[in-house]
Structure 1
Amino acid sequence: MMPLVFTGATRVLLVGHGPAFAKRRALLEASGLALTLHAALPDDAALDSARLVFGAGLDEAEGEALAAAARARRIPVNIEDVPHLCDVHVPAMIRRGDLLFTVSTAGGAPAMAAALRAWLDQRFGPEWADHLRSLAEERQALRAAGATPPEVMRALTARIRDSAWLDCPCAAQKR
């Protein structure tokens, strides 16, 4: 497995219908990707412009056709809940502004991924978006002032340590 984070410029095609489609649409929209929606199998032009393809709520024949069309164009594809039609998997996620936690079990143990996601969700609340934003602003200010990358890293590491953000009783206890 190799985790990747796609930028907002990535053109994503989502094909499908029903509740699974709506759920996948919400997830992709929250990610800020450039999303194009199709209720039925898209035409060649739509596929040719995509860089990542998702299918959700499709029947077996639709999923196979979409996966084949994407793969023929060397576009990574994910057909929800059909592992053999997936080149990529979507991990369990927690988003706190630009801070993104992901958990993947390569599809082998979704219950574990869900449990770890819930564990992280309880321990990293909405305030973490502000923590990250303030660190990003400080990083920009240090770089603008001429600090070298190692100096920036030392300063921000000290800020994280001094803030005690990571000093919490949430560390796993040995049993």
Structure 2
Amino acid sequence: MIPLAIDPARVPIALAGNGPLAVRRLTQLREGGADPVVYSPEPDAEFAALAGERLVRALPFDRDLDAVRVLFVMGLDPAVETTLAKLARSCGVLVNVEDVIPLCDFHSPSVVRRGDLLLTVSTGGRSPTLASLLRQRLETLFPEIWGDRLRQIAGLRDQLRKDGASMAAIAKATKSLVTREGWLP
């Protein structure tokens, strides 16, 4: 596995599915800054409400996928999921079919967000439960205040860069701040 962080402002994302897994994935995508087009022929009420104006009450065709680079699929009939995975690949779109490893080009890690700080855990799809347990541990080790800490570190870095400091000097100043504040045991 090769870990990547995708900027949804540059990489168009879509979701096809229905049900609780689709609600969870759409929520996670939005937390990451994405506003995907959502394809669902017969969405349940919760999913339809969450998708809002981005909902297309149909499955995507190849022409729809021409504008997409990443497709998440879940909560559909297995034969439909298989067909969508093949269609996506034929259009050059990376696809993730929830909990169907052979149909996945990538796996989504468990995520802890603290502002712009993003901590992830992946088992390559082999144990979502272990990934979830590790994510819960990270949530405890890195409470919400880490969002503020990152902003403080970023402010220091920005000022030092503006002053012409070298990358080595910036790294040293960052380490010094983290140590002085006792943020990491």
**If the length of structure 2 is used for normalisation, what is the TM-score?**
0.86
Deviation sequence 1:101-147 (CA, Å, 0-9, x none) = 11111122222211111111111110000000110111111101111
Deviation (angstroms), 1:154: 1.1
Distance 1:12 1:121 in 2: 27
Deviation (angstroms), 1:36: 1.2
**Residues 11, 35 of structure 1: 8 Å contact kept:** yes
Instruction: Find the counterpart in structure 1 of residue 59 from structure 2.
Output: 41
What SS is found at the alignment partner of 2:66? helix
Structure 1 stretch displaced more, 37-46 or 125-134: 37-46
Deviation (angstroms), 1:43: 2.3
Deviation (angstroms), 1:54: 0.5
Distance 1:20 1:114 in 2: 15
Deviation sequence 1:28-74 (CA, Å, 0-9, x none) = 11110241111132122320110111111111111011100111122
What code does the residue aligned with 1:54 have? F
Deviation sequence 1:65-105 (CA, Å, 0-9, x none) = 11001111221100111111111101111111111111111
Instruction: Find the counterpart in structure 2 of residue 64 from structure 1.
Output: 82
Instruction: Find the counterpart in structure 2 of residue 171 from structure 1.
Output: none
Identical columns (%)? 40
**Residues 41, 62 of structure 1: 8 Å contact kept:** no
Q: Mark the runs of 5 or more structure 2 residues left unpaired by the alignment.
A: 41-57
Instruction: Find the counterpart in structure 1 of residue 113 from structure 2.
Output: 95
Q: Tell me whether 1:124 sits opposite 2:124 in the alignment.
A: no
Q: Mark the runs of 5 or more structure 1 residues left unpaired by the alignment.
A: 168-175
Q: How does 1:1-12 map to 2 (within 5 A)?
A: 1-9=1-9, 10-12=11-13
RMSD (Å) for aligned C-alpha atoms: 1.1
